[in-house]
Amino acid sequence: MSAGRRRGEDWLCEQQTAGARLCLHVERWLVRRRSPYQALELAVTRDHGRVMALDGKFMLSERDEPFYHEMLVHPAMLVHEAPERVLIVGGGDGGALREALRHRTVKEAVLVEIDQAVIDASREHLPSVHYGSFDDPRVRIVVSPGETFLPEHPDTYDVILVDSTDPIGPGKALFQAEFLAACRRALRLGGVIALQAGTPFYWPEELEHLLRELGRLFPHVGAYLGFVPLYPSGMWAYAIAGDRDWRAEEAAVHERYASRGLTTRYYTPDLHRAAFVLPRFVEELVSRALGGEG
């Protein structure tokens, strides 16, 4: 029994590393089941509101999910001149979909999620996350593994957002070279891809692997950081890549943010620029992965 835990209390815990665990006090369980792919848990917690976990790993909490979803979505969307067709791989909670649809340029958003149970549980229990985005007329939902869907859609999307779990279980394939190459082929000219890339504090090899694979496919690859209290270490990394240098578009980010009518809780255009300024140890990791090309 952990320090401070009283008999009879219920906790939702993630073993984040061999020596680190984060536990949240559960006030009420909403879902505890096993889907064909993974263990799915959804609970109302005291400090973080509603929390979803898959295979014992925290996916989101109501309290800090905008910190993650806004940083996954808006940098890629805003460095693209006018993203009309967007693909989200994973993201069955609807948070990334919600943020992508806030861009007025979007005409179609396709959500490809492997697990129908995640979508169903989110529809019912996480309206504060998806905001009804599943039912937006611009949205098409496909229940399929991302690695199966992507090869069938070459030259189709302006922005691809990979909102995956960690590279274990159903999420493992989304970090492999074959999937990333399919993403490259699925992008239109000038397209951009952004992917969650784990924490460089605990798992530097995850970000390094992803950047190295992307560097074999795209002429312009980079990493940026955000803060997500629920996730291991709080420091969370994202990878971004494209056939054009998104850094040349930074000057347009403020204007696009305003013209698309965006409102955000965590992301700002100024934070966009700052997120690419990396601590020395992450800079060195990026340099190793990309052979000195930052």
**For 131-200, what is the HEC assignment?**
CCHHHCCCEEEEECCHHHHHHHCCCCEEEEEEECCCCCHHHHHHHCHHHHHHHHHHEEEEEEEEEECCCC
For residue 116, tell me if it sits in a domain.
yes
| pLDDT, tens digit (0-9, with 9 covering 90-100), for 25-37 | 999 999 999 999 9
143: burial class by Cβ within 10 Å (0-12, 13-18, 19+)? middle
Q: Which H or E element spans position 3? A: none
Same domain, 221 and 284: yes
Average pLDDT of the segment spanning 210-231: 97
The pLDDT of residue 291 is: 87
The Cα 224–Cα 185 span in angstroms is 23
- Does position 219 have pLDDT exceeding 80, yes or no? yes
| CB contact at 8 A, 164 and 196 | yes
CATH number where 191 lies:
3.40.50.150
- Does position 2 have pLDDT exceeding 90, yes or no? no
Number of domains in the chain: 2
For residue 203, tell me if it sits in a domain.
yes
β-strand partners of 218: none
C-alpha dist (Å) from residue 63 to 44, 117, 156, 165, 250:
11, 22, 34, 19, 29
Average pLDDT of the segment spanning 145-154: 94
The pLDDT of residue 251 is: 87
Which residue would you say has higher pLDDT here, 249 or 255? Answer: 255
The Cα 102–Cα 72 span in angstroms is 14
Same domain, 272 and 231: yes
Average pLDDT of the segment spanning 114-140: 98
Lowest pLDDT segment from 44-58, 84-98, 242-256 = 242-256
The pLDDT of residue 160 is: 98
Residue finishing a domain among 37, 61, 85 = 61
Which residue would you say has higher pLDDT here, 292 or 257? Answer: 257
> How open is the CA angle 72-78-83, to the nearest 5 degrees?
100
Average pLDDT of the segment spanning 280-285: 98
Same domain, 74 and 50: no
Residues tagged active-site: 163
Average pLDDT of the segment spanning 255-270: 97
Same domain, 48 and 73: no
- Does position 53 have pLDDT exceeding 70, yes or no? yes
| Residue type present at position 260 | R
- Does position 8 have pLDDT exceeding 60, yes or no? no
The pLDDT of residue 258 is: 96
Joined tokens for residue 229: 């209290």
Q: Which domain holds residue 22?
A: 10-61
Same domain, 259 and 271: yes
The Cα 212–Cα 292 span in angstroms is 11
User: Which pTM does this prediction carry?
Assistant: 0.95
pLDDT band at residue 7 using 50, 70 and 90 as cut-offs: low
- Does position 175 have pLDDT exceeding 90, yes or no? no
Provide the 3-class DSSP secondary structure of residue 117.
Answer: helix
